[in-house]
Structure 1
């Protein structure tokens, strides 16, 4: 079941409450719905986490935590999904978002220099920012909704598969019990 898999990897609320750095917000994490592992809370956490991850803003984890608190979805999952955009994947993702935004705004795409520097980014920021933000918001909504839908479908498929497996085992148990009763001469 998906719940068991997620419980294995997600931190326990008590573990986070004991962290010194998180004591100032521990009263916010006391809400049980932030730790619930249901199809709805996990799917919504997937949306919040992916949405926050694709925005080119600082403090994405705080945005994801705030979003999880507002939507009442699984907090650790939404914060953990932000790490999809890590220092290795960030340039590729944001460049793709920029290209998407430039295409949507019908703006020319700026060529990257041979040596990327912070000075070049600072000089070009005002020119690339509208396309980057537009592409990032569109990609964040689309990827977030797709993640939400995929989680809901996978969860439903897994539960359905589990129910069918249990029904099959139950039928086999009943069949073997009926067979044992039928072959026992004393019971007949």
Structure 2
């Protein structure tokens, strides 16, 4: 029977299983001291809400390296690192086409431009990028800010509902 975890996965991601290992990444070494702060790893409602917001923001801003950017910003905003890293996975190679399509249509709507449906040609690639790039960029920025706000508010709301239900259950106990 073959190993269920491929060796390349183990090589690249096994080292990220403990908070101390984040400090070994070359891009994160300048933040090493801050990344080990306990509040970045605990499940507290404020840090989880911030982590969701940071992760969702960077998921739509960067096409690659989102987790590293989110982790770096978690140390600044005291956000939960695992939640932020998980939330960046909203956009991935399997879903990026959908998000770009949605961003383009959202950006065209925000800019008040009609959405167009022609494909790129070799001769007019720069024109095609200028026509579709700006609405897509505006749409991705709108998605980044909107999803960050919605993620923050959603976590706060779900956490509050959970606490309220727990209090009601305690009150009803004999």
The equivalent position to 2:90 in structure 1, one of 79, 84, 92, is 84
Alignment of 1:44-59 (within 5 A): 44-59=50-65
TM-score (norm 2): 0.76
Q: Can you give the 5+ residue segments of structure 1 that lack an aligned partner in the other structure? A: 1-12, 173-188
Query: What CA deviation, in whole Å up to 9, does each residue of 1:93-130 have, x standing for no partner?
Result: 111011111111122423253xx89x799643333221
Measured at CA, do residues 89 and 160 of structure 1 come closer, stay the same or move farther in structure 2, by a change above 3 Å?
Answer: same
Partner of 1:42: 48
Shift, 1:48, TM fit: 0.9
CA RMSD after TM alignment: 2.9
> Among residues 150, 157, 163, which one is paired with 2:154 in the alignment?
150
For this pair of structures, how many residues does the alignment match?
156
Deviation at 1:20, TM superposition (A): 8.8
Alpha-carbon distance in 2 for matches of 1:130, 1:50: 21
- The answer to whether the aligner puts 1:166 opposite 2:166 as a matched pair is no
Structure 2 unaligned segments of length 5 or more: list them: 1-15
